[in-house]
């Protein structure tokens, strides 16, 4: 079924897509001179500092900058096309069905080897384990049905570099068609990763290039793919959440290509439906937690926060993490939200959009004027903003609270009670200072679970599989077991008859998953 997805024919369409992108970008260029000047200026400045490898690129833009004043308007337009084509070819990936088939077989085994490296012969059993420990939730049947009726844009939260691997694995397991996505060019420098990325339909995004012409090519490329039925994966948060919080604000650039693609396709005989599926990826442990939260605190704290140690992510850490994740059922939960159309209407199994009162709505009515589909940048930017807001609301509702989040929330609550009135940065300095008796800790966890359950009853959050119906002692046990031995500095250190609050940064990081729901401290809002 998944083999019917257009990505399996990508290579046949590749040059057509590139040319389509070039044509659209050049048609949309209102001021070729400005566009080229901006591109040349940005690129010369960037490449100046990087002699050697990219010399040829540097010279190309120097030559372009020099000639711009002399050449005619039509020649400038031709140059826009030339630069756009250069970028479009660089961005366009490749899809090799054999590599895809291989990777879906290899990936679980590779992951399961990571899980139990000593027991090579039992790869299959371990892969079964991964199945158990990675839980997928949400209206998967409907998403499968919709993927046959139109293009699905998957828009998950972003916490870790493991996200795309884990999400891809869950996708394949649930029989969802493969989705194309933009991957940072840095991931293509590793020859092994690069081979897979390139052949799995990932397109290359060079984050170092910042000028408008490049961004236009990138967005148009995404738009053309969506219009032609390629299911897409965006992380609309832009980068990994540094704080550990669920995204409350999104980068709208790529998301906007969903609306644009829909309008474009209305001009064709068979319009392409576009469906957006928000999802949350929830981890008991986050691979890069220590570095991420340090980044975050350095950013918001400026000089009030000093980075003490720099932790890097090495292979053995990945191995430890995966082994840790496997110890607890449901330690990674991927939860798909309700699919919607680009105008935030709910979508039913048969692809119909319905409004909040359940009336069928024709999504084309949002973008047609006197019966004709019209692109209107200001209007579409607003539709995209509202789509972003709806995705964030879905993130908050579909956040799955796991033991580590709740226990960190309870512990952080204790920290705040111990030092009332202190600001965040003062609070965080009290490492290894606060002792919590075991029964108090349990009571705090139980209280938080009760409040979380009350929110769950109102559909505002979700309790994780290991938390629902479990006694507070078991939740506390699960979190401390997961943390111990994974994070260098103990998060919650068992001591005589209770616990000592250890790494306060990590307590903040894990409790931040509660912030948006109002169950925990929200570092971005005022106290209370």
Instruction: For another protein, give the closer residue by CB, 58 or 343.
Output: 343
Q: Per CB under 8 A, does 249 bind another protein?
A: no
Instruction: For another protein, give the closer residue by CB, 344 or 512.
Output: 344
Stretch that binds another protein, among 233-241, 243-251, 357-365, 514-522 (CB under 8 A): 357-365
How do 232-233 and 273-283 pair as beta strands? Answer: unpaired
Q: What are phi and psi of 430, to 5 degrees?
A: -85, 60
Q: What binding mask, one character per residue, do residues 373-402 give for another protein by CB under 8 A, x or -?
A: ---x-xx--xx-xx----------------
Among 357, 372, 420, 496, binds another protein (CB under 8 A): 357
Q: Per CB under 8 A, does 359 bind another protein?
A: yes
Q: How far is the CB of 458 from another protein (least distance, A)?
A: 14
DSSP 143-178: HHHHHHHEEEEEEE----TTHHHHHHHHHHHTTPPP
Q: Per CB under 8 A, does 420 bind another protein?
A: no
Structure-block tokens of residue 410: 């309870």
Q: How far is the CB of 366 from another protein (least distance, A)?
A: 4
Q: How far is the CB of 491 from another protein (least distance, A)?
A: 32
Q: Does residue 24 sit in helix, strand or coil?
A: helix
Stretch that binds another protein, among 147-155, 280-288, 356-364, 429-437 (CB under 8 A): 356-364
CA 213, CA 489: separation in Å to the nearest integer?
46
Rounded (10°) angle between helices 256-266 and 212-227: 60
Residue with tokens 């300095």: 429
Residues 311-350 interacting with another protein (rule: CB under 8 A) = 343-345
Among 203, 296, 366, 509, binds another protein (CB under 8 A): 366
Q: Per CB under 8 A, does 372 bind another protein?
A: no
Stretch that binds another protein, among 116-124, 158-166, 364-372, 481-489 (CB under 8 A): 364-372
Sort 347 into a burial class: Cβ within 10 Å, 0-12 / 13-18 / 19+: buried
CA 38, CA 30: separation in Å to the nearest integer?
13
CA 239, CA 241: separation in Å to the nearest integer?
6
**Of 26, 209, 186, 182, residue with least CA distance to 92:** 182
Q: Per CB under 8 A, does 458 bind another protein?
A: no
Sign of torsion, CA 510 515 521 524?
positive
Q: How far is the CB of 250 from another protein (least distance, A)?
A: 16
Instruction: For another protein, give the closer residue by CB, 361 or 500.
Output: 361
Q: Per CB under 8 A, does 109 bind another protein?
A: no
Q: What are phi and psi of 370, to 5 degrees?
A: 50, 45
Q: Per CB under 8 A, does 61 bind another protein?
A: no
Instruction: For another protein, give the closer residue by CB, 384 or 517.
Output: 384
Structure-block tokens of residue 164: 């795309």
Contact 322, 111 (CB under 8 A): yes
Contact 13, 61 (CB under 8 A): no
Binding residues (CB under 8 A) for another protein: these are 343-345, 355-357, 359, 361-366, 368, 376, 378-379, 382-383, 385-386, 526, 528
């Amino acid at each position: 079924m998944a083999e019917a997805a257009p990505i399996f024919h990508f290579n046949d369409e590749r040059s057509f897509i590139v040319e389509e992108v070039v044509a659209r970008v050049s048609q949309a260029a209102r001021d070729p001179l400005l566009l080229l000047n901006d591109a040349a200026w940005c690129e010369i400045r960037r490449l100046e500092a990087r002699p050697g490898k990219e010399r040829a690129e540097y010279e190309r833009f120097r030559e372009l900058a020099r000639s711009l004043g002399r050449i005619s308007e039509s020649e400038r337009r031709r140059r826009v096309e030339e630069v756009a084509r250069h970028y479009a070819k660089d961005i366009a990936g490749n899809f090799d069905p054999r590599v895809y088939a291989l990777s879906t077989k290899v990936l679980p085994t590779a992951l399961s080897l990571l899980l139990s490296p000593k027991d090579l012969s039992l790869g299959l059993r371990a892969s079964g384990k991964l199945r158990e420990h990675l839980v997928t939730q949400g209206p998967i049947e409907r998403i499968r049905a919709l993927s046959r009726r139109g293009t699905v844009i998957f828009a998950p939260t972003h916490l870790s570099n493991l996200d795309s691997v884990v999400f891809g694995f869950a996708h394949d397991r649930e029989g969802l068609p493969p989705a194309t996505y933009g991957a940072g060019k840095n991931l293509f420098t590793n020859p092994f990763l690069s081979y897979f990325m390139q052949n799995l339909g990932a397109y290359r995004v060079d984050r170092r290039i910042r000028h408008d012409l490049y961004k236009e090519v990138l967005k148009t490329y995404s738009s053309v793919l969506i219009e032609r039925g390629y299911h897409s994966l965006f992380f609309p948060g832009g980068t990994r959440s540094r704080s550990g919080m669920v995204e409350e604000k999104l980068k709208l650039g790529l998301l906007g290509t969903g609306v644009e693609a829909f309008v474009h396709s209305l001009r064709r005989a068979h319009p392409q439906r576009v469906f957006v599926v928000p999802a949350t990826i929830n981890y008991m442990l986050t691979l890069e937690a220590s570095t991420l939260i340090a980044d975050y605190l350095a950013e918001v704290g400026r000089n009030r926060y000093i980075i003490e140690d720099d932790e890097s992510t090495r292979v053995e850490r990945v191995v430890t993490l995966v082994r840790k994740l496997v110890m607890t059922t449901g330690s990674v939960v991927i939860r798909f939200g309700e699919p919607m159309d680009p105008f935030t209407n709910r979508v039913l199994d048969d692809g119909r959009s319905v409004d909040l009162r359940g009336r069928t709505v024709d999504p084309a009515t949002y973008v047609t004027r006197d019966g004709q589909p019209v692109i209107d940048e200001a209007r579409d930017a607003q539709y995209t903003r509202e789509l972003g807001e709806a995705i964030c609301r879905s993130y908050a509702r579909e956040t799955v609270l796991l033991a580590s989040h709740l226990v960190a929330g309870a512990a952080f609550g204790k920290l705040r009670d111990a030092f009332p009135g202190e600001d965040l940065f003062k609070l965080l300095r009290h490492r290894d200072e606060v002792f919590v008796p075991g029964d108090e800790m349990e009571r705090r966890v139980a209280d938080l679970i009760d409040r979380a359950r009350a929110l769950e009853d109102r559909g505002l959050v979700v309790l994780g599989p290991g938390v629902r119906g479990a006694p507070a002692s078991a939740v506390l046990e699960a979190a401390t077991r997961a943390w111990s031995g994974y994070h260098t500095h103990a998060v919650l250190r068992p001591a005589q008859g209770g616990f000592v609050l250890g790494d306060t940064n990590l307590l903040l990081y894990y409790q931040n998953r509660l912030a948006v729901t109002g169950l925990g401290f929200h570092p971005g809002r005022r106290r209370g």
